Amino acid sequence: MARPYQPSLLRLLHGAMAAVVVLCWFTGVGLYSQFDGRWGRLSLRIPDVIDLHGSLGVALVLISCLFVPYAFTLGRWRLAQFSNAVALGALLLAVGSGLLMDEDWPRRGELHHWASQRGLLLEEEDHPRLLALLDQPRLALLLTAAPNGQLSAADLAGPLMVMASWERTQAVGLLLTPDVRRRSHPSADLEPEARPLGDLQESRDSARCPLLKLTPGAFIRWRA
């Protein structure tokens, strides 16, 4: 009896696809555990997991560019099997959703989760004048207390230390404005007080922050 034969291209694509999918799943679990963890965390920390997961996603897209046309042409008879059709649909959904994702969403999600647990309000800052003063940061956030509440040193220290702990963080800044008007129209002559980033990385304990000023109008920038 003749042995079942599969073309070399199909076997190569299947092997590469399986390897990349497993690695994507593994880094995806690590990414969730490090930046979300709302349903539990694992003792798993992968360096530069966001970049690694994104690179694997790019590899998956490139392999899919060969695999999907093959599946709909020479391998179309296999799509008659329900399991193969579901697997291909899941692949297309994973690739499509991955292409639409912003690579900074895990970091934003970690901070929003942190703020919601403490009853604080966190939103993205997009005022052009303020962004220019902050030297056009990759991520700018506005942290405010709940109505009739007031921010404490721990409230400010928490997100600063979280951002300082991210891989490749080069600088973290804090502008403490006394009111909404001065947040939207800060003085053009305002200069930040320079401090080493290591001050924020000494401890993840959000109950304290070395030498943190709570004086309204304080502008501090920690650099590596």
**What digits encode the pLDDT tens for the residues 57-111?**
889 888 888 888 877 887 777 777 887 788 888 888 888 887 777 777 778 887 8
62 touches 68 (CB < 8 A) = no
| Contacts for 27 with CB less than 8 Å, ≥ 6 apart | 46, 49, 52, 53, 56
Confidence of residue 182 (pLDDT cuts 50, 70, 90): low
**What is the b/e burial string over 74-97, where b = at least 16 CB atoms within 10 angstroms of the residue's CB?**
ebeeeeeeeeeeebbeebeebbee
Mean pLDDT over all residues of the chain?
78
Per the confidence metrics, is the pTM higher than 0.75?
no
Residue 181 has pLDDT above 80, yes or no: no
- Quick one: pLDDT at residue 64? 85
Residue 185 has pLDDT above 70, yes or no: no
